[in-house]
Amino acid sequence: MTRTRLVAGNWKMHGNRAANAALLDAIVRGLGSAHFAEGGVECAVCVPFPYLAQVAERLRGTAVAWGAQNLSEHAQGAYTGEVSAAMLADFDCKYVIVGHSERRQLFGESDGQVAAKFAAARKGALTPILCVGETLEERDAGRTEQVVARQLDAVLGKGEFGDAVLAYEPVWAIGTGRTATPEQAQDVHAFLRKRVTPQTRILYGGSVKADNAAAIFAMPDVDGGLIGGASLVARDFIGICRVAERKG
Ligand code: PGA
């Protein structure tokens, strides 16, 4: 089964117009143009809402796609501070991250709300990147599979997964410098794979860097990465994209 690998940057709440311009220029220059996409790897950046216009303008016509990090489950209306799927589509977003562990943990997003956001993204013709992952406490208690299954099943119970992307991000590996071992990642990816389709891309996320990406991406059920910290440094992000390119 050939799946186009995906390396998606998650800028989180970082950046400003000047820094973004420099980062985007360096990424576009570093990755080259269409040639890269032909290598079986797609690259994308998921950026804060206020910078979507800037990013869309800079990346249009390049091999790099873009998206957002969250969306509202509602289509429109009196929801102060929220951003709808249609608004993201208006800026030609391809992707939107849904259910990142920071949204779940810091902003109280429930499985049900994540499922509603996932459905809203699909309805709005966006490709959701659904994040699932266990805490260290859950892993230590032997509950990893139970937790990721619950998170994924909440979404599957509401409709088709379609061409959405799944991202396994162990919470204990995010921003900690501690990655899952390639075998730990592969075990969970293989478990998740049974619940989706053979075509579904499953990314690994959590402290992926240019120097550990090769071992993780070499696993058969790992189809790329969701990259936080390293996506803010052009050289590192490009390096990770190049590793994904070599996998094929
Ligand atoms: P990290 O973040 O690469 O900085 O660990 C990954 C993520 O939160 O998506």
Ligand 1 centroid–CA 207 distance in Å is 6
Ligand 1 centroid–CA 70 distance in Å is 15
Residues in CB range of 183: below 8 A, 6 or more apart: 219
Least confident among 3-12, 204-213, 238-247 = 238-247
Average pLDDT in the 8-24 region?
A: 98
- 178 CA to centre of own chain: 18
Beta strand 165-168 with 127-132: parallel, antiparallel or unpaired? parallel
Average pLDDT in the 142-152 region?
A: 98
Report yes or no: 95 and 145 within 8 Å, Cβ to Cβ: no
The Cα-based distances of 89 to 56, 77, 125 in angstroms read: 11, 17, 7
Instruction: Give yes or no for residue 36 having a pLDDT over 70.
Output: no
Pocket probe for ligand 1: among 100, 174, 207, the residue whose CB has the most ligand atoms within 8 Å is: 174
pLDDT band at 35 (very low <50, low <70, confident <90, very high): low
The binding-site residues of ligand 1, defined as CB within 6 angstroms of any ligand atom, are 10, 169, 174-175, 205-208, 226-230
Pocket probe for ligand 1: among 12, 102, 227, 232, the residue whose CB has the most ligand atoms within 8 Å is: 227
Average pLDDT in the 90-118 region?
A: 98
Q: Is 169 a catalytic residue?
A: yes
Pocket probe for ligand 1: among 45, 104, 208, the residue whose CB has the most ligand atoms within 8 Å is: 208
Average pLDDT in the 56-79 region?
A: 97
Instruction: Give yes or no for residue 174 having a pLDDT over 70.
Output: yes
DSSP-H helix ranges across the chain:
17-31, 34-38, 52-59, 85-90, 101-106, 111-123, 136-140, 144-156, 182-193, 213-217, 234-247
Q: Which atom of ligand 1 is nearest to the CA of 208?
A: 3
Q: What is the pLDDT of residues 205-236, one digit of tens each?
A: 999 999 999 999 999 999 999 999 999 999 99
Ligand 1 centroid–CA 238 distance in Å is 16
Give the end-to-end CA distance of the chain in Å, rounded to a whole number: 12
pLDDT band at 40 (very low <50, low <70, confident <90, very high): confident
Ligand 1, atom 6: closest residue by C-alpha: 228
Q: What pLDDT is attached to residue 210?
A: 95
Catalytic residue chosen out of the listed positions 134, 169, 189, 245: 169
Lookup result for tokens 């501070």? 81
Percent of the chain, pLDDT > 70? 96
Ligand 1, atom 2: closest residue by C-alpha: 228
Instruction: Give yes or no for residue 2 having a pLDDT over 90.
Output: no
The reply to whether the predicted model has a pTM over 0.85 is yes
Average pLDDT in the 40-44 region?
A: 94
Q: Is 100 a catalytic residue?
A: yes
CA angle 92, 228, 245 (to 5 degrees): 75
φ, ψ dihedrals at 76, nearest 5°? -175, 170
- 97 CA to centre of own chain: 6
